[in-house]
Amino acid sequence: MAYLAFYRIFRPTSFGEVVRQEHIVRILKNQIESGKIGHAYLFCGPRGTGKTTLAKIFARAINCEDPQNGSPCGKCAACRALASGSNLDISEIDAASNNGVDEMRDLREKVQYPPVAGKYKVYIIDEVHMLTASAFNAVLKTLEEPPRHAVFILATTEPQKIPATILSRCMRFDFKLIPLKDLEALVSSVFDRTGKEYEKEAVSAIARAGAGSARDCLSIADMCASYSSGKLTYEDVAAVLGAADYLKVASLAETVLKEDAPAALSAVEEVLSTGKSVGVLVKDMLGALNDIAVAKLCKNAREIINLPEENFLRIKEIADAADGHKILRVTEILAAAESAMRYSSSGRITLETAVIKAAMPAEDYNIDALIGKIAELERKLESGKYALPSARSMPKVSAEPVLPQKKVPAAEPPVLEEESGESPFASGASEEKPAAREESGTQPTLWDDMPAQPPKSGLSEGDKRSVFAKFLKCLRTTHKNAVLFTLCMDLMAKFEGDKLVLATESEPVYKALVRADNYKFMGGVLSTLNVTDFEVRLQPKGESEFDKALKTLKDNFTGTDINVK
């Protein structure tokens, strides 16, 4: 006899052998025991979850003379007759190849004949969504009012393609993906019954690759059993699946999380040079990042991931050193790259671009990258890696800069001291020396030293209205103050007399701004705008200034309708 695949040898023959789908099994068993058999059923769900298998078990069970707990006994005359391939009481039709109106008309004529061996004639129509519109119309009336001896079971993976007139005439059962633990138990039982030795981690890898499909799991297990002549190991499963070396992929993910772009690109080249495809590498990287996230967030990560000890310890080491926000950002970038590869003619360039973007958040103007940069700066400040600003004289500049008439020495800008180093993507023009700009005759920035002007005696109402805009302009002048500029963008500014009040409803923003270094720096900038008294205030969430003003207006004009547009 020809060799049979695992998914054919170990296909369930009774309801008790079916993996999960308990809600469907219970309904079908109760119908069989009570004798309330419907005339049309619709089994829909993902591939490999047991739709056709349950249809065949149900078809034999309703014809069985002595069903055992709802399942066919396999011993009675009806069961033996139905087990024969020549029996016509159970007809399985492939709608993918018999999808025309003529086939359905033929079915409508044959359904009138009574069964030969059992009580019912059962028609199992697989992939029913492939039928044409004319074929659906041809079978419509028969499906609604078939003969008493006829039962239709429709199976499909795409129920949305079936007309509503068909759906409304069927009892619909939605099959679910099979959980990981049940797939592991299924693969283990198959290996035990075939005498194949295996590692627990290898079975877990097969179950994860099955992605909720029992048939996919058994197909992969069949290949793995043929690949390994001895004990099946985790490395054997990875080789069968064509996955890259797990530790190399984990190291690649680590270099990306550490923002080491050159090392990340070198690691990508090393993996691809072994012959692995770009799509497989992206999938493996996403899997490794998912394991890192689980190891960082879950206390029972070892049981969830179920990796070999060496691999788990490596993942745990990376997770402990990584920032949760970075893990999420890198995962999102690679997931978007995987989707973009479907429409790209050069998947390798798409992958390398995504790796560079993920490893260089400083060059990414996305809000997630900016949040990660702020978190990194705060971490360095707390660890003492960045020093507080040294006492230095603040350049006195006017609110309206004027071009100097003669060459003057440039003053050092009052910025936070941070590590030196230039981005490989920074243009030379943005880092040009002040002296070079003066020699070229271009206008200096606000941070260049300008002729000192006498301070004003006070701020007029017009000056007060423009102070906050000028304050933000000063912060925006140099890219080194981008963090502080971002924190101040959404502040609410108002004057209480000559005192400038900067209010925010965000507690994290408030804590960052009142920190000694930031507060001192803001005071120095405001002093150049002739503001000597200011305060950062945490405003409780609730009524805004507009709401308060509107309430006061309504109180003063009681009885008058005030419409807000």
Q: At 56, which CATH number?
A: 3.40.50.300
pLDDT of residue 257: 92
Q: Residue 376: inside a domain, yes or no?
A: no
Q: How far apart are CA 113 and CA 89, in angstroms?
A: 10
Lowest mean pLDDT among 4-8, 461-465, 525-529: 461-465
Q: Is residue 372 part of a domain?
A: no
Between 364 and 239, name the one with better pLDDT: 239
In a domain, 404, yes or no: no
The last residue of one of the domains, among 197, 225, 241, is 241
* pLDDT tens digits along 187-208: 999 999 999 999 888 999 999 8
- Binning pLDDT at 50, 70 and 90, where does residue 434 land? very low
Phi, psi of 125 (to 5 degrees): -105, 105
Do residues 108 and 256 share a domain?
A: no
The whole domain housing 344 covers: 246-363
Backbone angles phi, psi at 348, to 5 degrees: -65, -45
Instruction: Round to whole Å and give the CA distance between 78 and 416.
Output: 87
The single residue listed with the structure tokens 């920190």 is 515
Task: Specify whether 157 is located in the same domain as 214.
Answer: no
Tokens of 458: 């006070």
H-helix or E-strand spanning residue 204? helix 200-210
**pLDDT value, residue 288:** 92
Q: How far apart are CA 539 and CA 509, in angstroms?
A: 11
Q: Is residue 398 part of a domain?
A: no
CA distance linking residue 522 with residue 514, whole number of Å: 10
Q: Is 449 inside any structural domain?
A: no
Asked if residue 55 belongs to a domain, the reply is yes
Q: Of 107-121, 159-173, 461-475, which range is least confident?
A: 461-475
Residue 444 has pLDDT above 50, yes or no: no
Q: How far apart are CA 191 and CA 206, in angstroms?
A: 12
Using alpha carbons only, how large is the chain's radius of gyration in Å? 36
* pLDDT tens digits, one per residue of 378-432: 766 766 655 544 444 444 444 444 444 444 344 444 444 444 444 444 444 444 4
* Burial class (CB within 10 angstroms; exposed 0-12, middle 13-18, buried 19+) of 119: middle
Q: 159 and 185 share a domain?
A: no
The pLDDT of residue 479 is: 52
Question: For 327-347, what is each residue's pLDDT tens digit?
Answer: 998 999 999 999 999 888 888
Write b or e for each residue in 203-238: b if 16 or more Cβ atoms lie within 10 A of its Cβ, otherwise e: bbbbbbbbebbbbbbbbbbbbbbeebeeebbbbbbb
Min mean pLDDT across 300-304, 427-431, 455-459, 512-516 is at 427-431
- My answer on whether 191 and 300 are in the same domain is no
Q: Which of 157, 174, 191 is the last residue of a domain?
A: 174
From the list 59, 63, 76, 126, the residue with the least C-alpha distance to 98 is 126
Q: Are residues 27 and 109 in the same domain?
A: yes
Listing DSSP states for 309-335 in one string gives HHHHHHHHHHHHHS-HHHHHHHHHHHH
**pLDDT of 106 above 70:** yes
- Based on the domain organization, do 160 and 232 belong to the same domain? no
Q: Please identify, among 363, 378, 394, the residue that sits at the C-terminal boundary of a domain.
A: 363
| Amino acid at residue number 390 | S
For residue 480, count CB atoms less than 10 angstroms from its CB and return exposed for 0-12, middle for 13-18, buried for 19 or more. middle
Q: Are residues 91 and 198 in the same domain?
A: no
Average pLDDT in the chain? 80
Mean pLDDT along residues 553-565? 71
Average pLDDT rounded to a whole number, residues 37-45: 93
Tens digits of residue pLDDT in 69-105: 888 888 888 888 887 766 788 888 888 888 888 888 8
Please state, for a pLDDT cut of 90, what percent of the chain lies above it.
30
97 shares a domain with 189: no
Q: Nearest-CA neighbor of 223 among 246, 247, 249, 196?
A: 196
The predicted pLDDT at position 447 comes to 39
Residues 94 and 165 in one domain: yes
Q: β-strand 40-44 against 171-174: which pairing, if any?
A: parallel
Reading the block at residue 200, the tokens are 């627990």
User: Do both 153 and 222 map to the same domain?
Assistant: no
pLDDT category, 469, cuts 50, 70, 90?
A: confident
Q: Are residues 56 and 203 in the same domain?
A: no
**Strands 534-538 and 499-504, how do they pair?**
parallel
The fraction of the chain above a pLDDT of 70, given in percent, is: 80
pLDDT number for residue 163: 92
Q: How far apart are the first and last CA of the chain?
A: 82
Does some domain include residue 1? no
Predicted pLDDT of residue 54: 94
482-509: average pLDDT? 83
For the stretch 263-308, pLDDT in tens is 999 999 988 888 888 988 999 999 999 999 999 999 888 888 888 8
- Domain holding 474: CATH number? 3.30.300
Q: Judge if 43 and 86 occupy the same domain.
A: yes
Helices (H), 228-272: 234-241, 246-257, 261-272
Bigger pLDDT: 433 vs 499: 499
How far is the C-alpha of 565 from the C-alpha of 562, rounded, in Å? 10
- Tally of structural domains, the chain: 4
Is 354 part of a structural domain of the chain? yes
